[in-house]
Amino acid sequence: MAIKAGDRMPSGVFGVMTEAGPGAISTDELFKGKRVVLVSVPGAFTPTCSNYHLPGFLDHADEIFGKGVDTIACTAVNDVFVMHAWGKDQGVGDKVMMLADGNGEYVRALGLETDSSKFGMGLRGRRFAIIVDDGIASHVAVEEPGKFEVSKAEAVIGRL
């Protein structure tokens, strides 16, 4: 069953790149006592994700932070090296935390996985944005396949 507004975010761990190399961040560290916008894309370096989705959150980061958000985090079913390289390529700096869900465990826990095998991509996460307030999903916006409307930065800003 997919997560919905009012549900507690599932526990889990994401891969992150640190100065010392690959590391991890738990959902407790990410969400506890914070307001977080968690954005999921089907894959790093893919067209809509690279040309519109992540750049929209970069372009509107100051406005999002100005609405009381502590962290903007982007996740995909990619390894920590790919997420780090994509973040560097996109120039995320300290505006967006890049989270690797390498085995798709977190999107499965959310009930938001999708089978993209017909595109040669295997299990992936659906395109979505969740506003998380102290570990509770206060807004969940999941795109229909092939759409890019409800999870883009401008739509999320309207819900903050």
CATH of residue 76's domain is: 3.40.30.10
The answer for residues whose C-beta is within 8 angstroms of residue 109's C-beta and 6 or more apart is 10, 11, 12
User: Would you say residue 79 lies in a domain?
Assistant: yes
Q: Look up residue 118 and give its amino acid.
A: K
The rounded percent of the chain whose pLDDT value lies above 70 is 98
Catalytic residues: 49
Provide the β-strand partners of residue 21: 18
Determine the structural domain holding residue 48 and report its residue range: 13-157
Q: Which of the four pLDDT bands, split at 50, 70 and 90, describes residue 128?
A: very high
Q: Which parts of 2-150 are beta strand (E)?
A: 13-18, 21-26, 35-40, 71-76, 97-100, 113-115, 123-125, 128-133, 136-142
Task: Work out the mean pLDDT of the chain and round it to a whole number.
Answer: 94
Whether residue 110 contacts residue 129, with contact meaning beta carbons closer than 8 Å, is answered with no
User: Would you say residue 62 lies in a domain?
Assistant: yes
- How high is the pLDDT of residue 122? 63
Largest CA distance in the chain: 41
Q: pTM here?
A: 0.94
Residue 120 has pLDDT above 70, yes or no: no
* Cβ count near 102 (within 10 Å): 17
User: Would you say residue 94 lies in a domain?
Assistant: yes
Residue 95 has pLDDT above 70, yes or no: yes
Angle among Cα 5, 95, 79 to the nearest 5 degrees reads 75
Whether residue 95 contacts residue 55, with contact meaning beta carbons closer than 8 Å, is answered with no
C-alpha–C-alpha distance, residues 35 and 70, integer Å: 5
User: Would you say residue 3 lies in a domain?
Assistant: no
User: Would you say residue 5 lies in a domain?
Assistant: no
User: Would you say residue 4 lies in a domain?
Assistant: no
Torsion of CA 157, 54, 70, 62, to 10 degrees: -60
Give the pLDDT confidence of 3-16 residue by residue, as tens digits. Answer: 999 999 999 999 99
Tokens of 8: 């507690």
Tokens of 102: 């390498």
User: Would you say residue 7 lies in a domain?
Assistant: no
User: Would you say residue 80 lies in a domain?
Assistant: yes
The rounded percent of the chain whose pLDDT value lies above 90 is 84
Domain count, the chain: 1
